[in-house]
Amino acid sequence: MKNKAGTPSQSRLDASAEVALSQAELTELAGRIKAWGEELGFQQLGICDTDLAEHEKHLENWLSLGRHGSMGYMERHGKRRSRPADLVPGTLRVISARMDYLSGEAQAAADLLHETESALISRYALGRDYHKVLRKRLQKLASRIEAEAGPFGYRVFVDSAPVLEKALAEKAGLGWIGKHSNLLNRKDGSWFFLGEIYTDLPLPVDTPAANHCGNCVRCIEACPTGAITAPYQVDARRCISYLTIELKGAIPEELRPLMGNRIFGCDDCQMVCPWNRFANFSSEDDFRPRPGLDAETLLRLFGWSEEEFLERTAGSAIRRSGYEGWLRNIAVALGNVRLDEAADPRGVIDALERRKNNASVLVREHVDWALKQHEKN
């Protein structure tokens, strides 16, 4: 489940809704919206109002503790993140949608964790960039609503603006926010993406989901870096997803050995969650693993030129790390390779040696660290 800011994709909320429907018509329309959403490939849709007062308090506390690290965009927009009508004036309801992304063709991440020479990439990033996939479907849904009900105000978001998407999804009945901060669904686990349509249609709202984590703390115990500091409390500064994607500088040295072979994101807290026993594989071709990404060797990926990186990650969420971040992350993973178990221990050292004079100070520093790890052993 993953955390970026940008520009909203589609909008008609700059004008008041021209729709005047009765409550019965709105109820019928809400049912149709959910059915249309499923036809478009979403597993579930829900509708909620815009009151996120409790989640706003949680966000403010998290920010005050500095747990957002270098993600300045998390505090840049003030309260607009937790107040949809402040972000998009006229918003009365939010249509929240979820879509499964776990591909049955991808190698099990749990298996890759034990193959230290293999690169482990978060399962969500193996296929096409989800922003594009969901945004296009949500826009089609909005057009379908307009064709049925007439012109109305709306704006589509997919992890692309200051939106508390998990809080909205929880309130819309799509699941509950687990102790690891990801959204969980009793029938579908947590391997899914979220998207929203902010609208001025006064649609009937759904019942918020109840929490079913109980006394389970498996996600807390499994976190490699101890980023889940307490139930429902995540310190992004220790989270491998943050360290490998959002952080643009040096990864703290004390955390590097804990990262293993995870080079883009981390799924450990999801892998151990009991509710993911019920997760379903995605049928979306767009989320099938790209050749050369799933279960690829660290050495092969570390050998990519910048041109090859840009070519192979075109239309992929992996682009967010940038080439410099990509090399930095893989250098750390190569430093964590157990040479006594490696098929090509000399190859690991040689690959790092070839990057010692990289133009990037950041890459050179992490390469030097990796080489020192092997000198110790």
Q: What is the pLDDT of residues 50-72, one digit of tens each?
A: 999 999 999 999 999 999 999 99
Q: How many whole angstroms separate alpha carbon 303 and alpha carbon 121?
A: 17
Structure tokens given for 27: 């109820």
Per-residue pLDDT 10s for the chain (377 aa) are 333 333 344 555 554 445 688 999 999 999 999 999 999 999 999 999 999 999 999 999 999 999 999 999 999 888 999 999 999 999 999 999 999 999 999 988 989 998 999 999 999 999 999 999 999 999 999 999 999 999 999 999 999 899 999 999 999 999 999 999 999 999 999 999 999 999 999 999 999 999 999 999 999 999 999 999 999 999 999 999 999 999 999 999 999 999 999 999 999 999 999 999 999 999 999 999 999 899 899 999 999 999 999 999 999 999 999 999 999 999 999 999 999 999 999 999 999 999 999 999 999 999 999 999 999 86
Cα(159)–Cα(8) distance, integer angstroms: 9
Query: Can you read off the two tokens belonging to residue 287?
Result: 């989320």
Q: Is 12 helix (H, G, I), strand (E, B) or coil?
A: coil
Give the per-residue pLDDT at 376. 80
| Helix/strand/coil for 109 | helix
Long-range CB pairs of 229-232 (<8 Å, 24+ gap) are: 231/179, 232/58, 232/177, 232/178, 232/179, 232/181
What does the pLDDT look like over 252-282, one tens digit per residue?
999 999 999 999 999 999 999 999 999 999 9
What is the DSSP code (8-state) at residue 245?
I
- The residues carrying an active-site annotation are 159
pLDDT at 12 (0 to 100): 58
- Report the predicted TM-score, pTM, of the whole model to 2 decimal places: 0.92
- Distance (Å, whole) CA 312 – CA 319: 9
CA-to-CA distance for 117 and 50, rounded, in angstroms? 47
Q: Is 78 helix (H, G, I), strand (E, B) or coil?
A: helix
| Element (DSSP H or E) covering residue 120 | strand 120-121
Give the tokens for residue 168.
Answer: 């909205």
User: Would you state the pLDDT for residue 77?
Assistant: 87
Residue ranges covered by each domain of the chain: 10-104+124-199, 218-376
- Phi and psi at 320, nearest 5°, equal -60, -30
Are 145 and 22 in contact, with CB atoms under 8 Å apart?
no
Dist CA 274 CA 278 (whole Å):
8
- In angstroms, the CA 216 to CA 230 distance is 12
> What are the tokens at 190?
């947590």
Q: Determine how many CB atoms are found less than 10 A away from the CB of residue 311.
A: 10
Six-digit token string for 301: 């990926």
Rg of the chain (C-alpha set): 22
pLDDT confidence of residue 5: 31
Per-residue burial over 267-284, b = 16 or more CB atoms within 10 Å of its CB, e = otherwise: bbbbbbbebbeebeebeb
